[in-house]
Structure 1
């Protein structure tokens, strides 16, 4: 047998290599849709587990968020009576809360380059931006914005806190100019001077909705018994109205229509109607329970500017009776000489907690 020629050897070599490559390709070929066989080599690296589903965090620290998340017919939030006195820990002083920047140019320059002051200002601006614009209006659907129920009895005088000073202009046309740099062209007045020495029924409003709510407490049509008590005690009882408006556009609209407010009030009542534009801080609001800017609030303030009773939103029948009875007690205390006023005792404190009438009150 003859040996193959060189050309034949090359042809046989090509055929052998072609068959080997085709067999290897067919045995190792697999589509991604099919399951891997046991003969397939195991991966050298372990596959990471699938990522967990992303849950959006709920901003539970946002004020009023839970109220807005509830349905309209939710009964989870129920306003409760005030269990402790509300107010500021120190008595008001004329000139407080004017809301003016009295710093000199040097002080303003030092504060401008102070990094810590910038951080404080940034935190205040962050709180303002995080507050939704319609939050207060959306919270009105829960009990019409009622935050708390008025207490059935007065706060004890020795534990009562103080009503802050609101600095603003009144409705009086004949008011004299005092200080042209007070922010109201010299017509600014202090509410603490109007309430000192008399028992005052103070109402705070900032919208027409709030005006309608406070009317359920103090209007002659809806609470005639209150005005009967006020008429019998003109020497030591009065009504004070505070209309605060921090929006400059709404403030000028209020100035345009203040003539309508004058026509419905006497000269004395015009002097006790305060229009406040600035100076109401968040600390003041939280201290006196003014938690909703569009809700109306009513306070009973004694002759020493202490808050002895408070109500919010629309008045319930029990709250109207409580307001009248508490006002009568405050008038009785105001007319009593200091030497004859009973000193607080442990027995009176127990009677006040249990709801029984003390001996001094019944005497």
Structure 2
């Protein structure tokens, strides 16, 4: 064989062997299962998901948020209200002494701190909360029970000084002492229909009985509204029957302590209390009287009259 042809033959054989080896290696790689790729941990989002904020309601077309009603806080029906001990007699000071005391309070650091705390509390509480409470929960806190508060656990009526429609200075405890009394308290004109629902029924049954009486208390805590109420007193005198004038008491000024003691949760509602001759609160109701409350009030009044004999 020609040496040149022999060299060419060896080159062709070597190229053919290389091609067969490459093909077999590719087939081997194709048949061998490859390991699954490792999953990389998901990247944490730059901004964490937050809960969808509650939708804010606005007043009309303004950007002022509508105040949300707070849960209604009431006392348990039939729970004793009042103060633990009998109220003492209030000292009726002349006008000059009241003005002097007012100046001393203004200059007193302790009184200034108390006033500041009251102002902060008034600012943090929305003016519309009581209105929202009525709109969402109605004009009654609860329906009054049909039983008297036992004499052993009953508490005493706190005292409050005011001016009667007859023009005299009076204390509500002194007015209630010695007789079975229906005491009504109202803070706004809206509550008048509530208190009258008890008074009219009470007077219809016991109007001529000298052992029972009605005492009405009209309270205005806001100084600006108090000035308006003073101007409207002639109208109040004309609208209230004259026999009630000596027992219709008007008070100007804050009574937060009285409201807390008597369980007055919403001052827009009228309140009625049955007070025995020893000035103990034996029954109370709120809002407009329903039929069962009216019947209970009359029956319990008769029971107190029998016990007072």
* TM-based fold match above 0.5: yes
Q: Is the 8 A contact 1:81 1:149 kept in 2?
A: no
SS in 2 for 1:214: helix
Which ranges in structure 2 are unaligned for 5 or more consecutive residues? 1-42, 56-66
Which ranges in structure 1 are unaligned for 5 or more consecutive residues? 1-45, 68-76, 176-187, 337-363
SS in 2 for 1:271: helix
Deviation for aligned residue 1:107 = 7.5
| Residue equivalent to 1:82 | 77
Q: Mapping of 1:333-348 within 5 angstroms? A: 333-334=307-308, 336=309
Tell me the distance in 2 between the aligned counterparts of 1:143 and 1:57.
Answer: 22
Q: Indicate which of 282, 290, 293 corresponds to 2:264.
A: 290
Deviation for aligned residue 1:81 = 6.4
Q: Indicate which of 125, 128, 131 corresponds to 2:122.
A: 128
SS in 2 for 1:65: coil
Q: Using a 3 Å threshold, how does the CA distance of structure 1 residues 145 and 63 change in structure 2: closer, same or farther? A: farther
Residue 230 (structure 1) aligned with residue 228 (structure 2): no
Larger radius of gyration: 2
Q: Indicate which of 143, 149, 159 corresponds to 1:149.
A: 143
Tell me the distance in 1 between the aligned counterparts of 2:92 and 2:51.
Answer: 47
SS in 2 for 1:126: helix
| Residue equivalent to 2:298 | 324
| Residue equivalent to 1:212 | 193
Q: Deviations over 1:75-130 (max 9, x none)?
A: xx9x89614211122222222899x6875977765626x9xx74x55443322111
Q: Indicate which of 160, 163, 166 corresponds to 2:160.
A: 166
Residue 196 (structure 1) aligned with residue 194 (structure 2): no
What is the Cα-based RMSD across aligned positions, in Å?
3.5
Q: Using a 3 Å threshold, how does the CA distance of structure 1 residues 109 and 171 change in structure 2: closer, same or farther? A: closer
Deviation for aligned residue 1:247 = 1.9
Q: Using a 3 Å threshold, how does the CA distance of structure 1 residues 142 and 216 change in structure 2: closer, same or farther? A: farther
Q: Using a 3 Å threshold, how does the CA distance of structure 1 residues 106 and 228 change in structure 2: closer, same or farther? A: closer
Q: Is the 8 A contact 2:70 2:133 kept in 1?
A: no
TM-score, normalization: structure 2?
0.71
Q: Deviations over 1:227-272 (max 9, x none)?
A: 24323422x2100000001122322222222223323445541110
Q: Is the 8 A contact 1:96 1:167 kept in 2?
A: no
Q: Deviations over 1:272-305 (max 9, x none)?
A: 0011112512x32122121111110011011111
* Structure whose residues are more often helix by fraction: 2
| Residue equivalent to 1:306 | 280
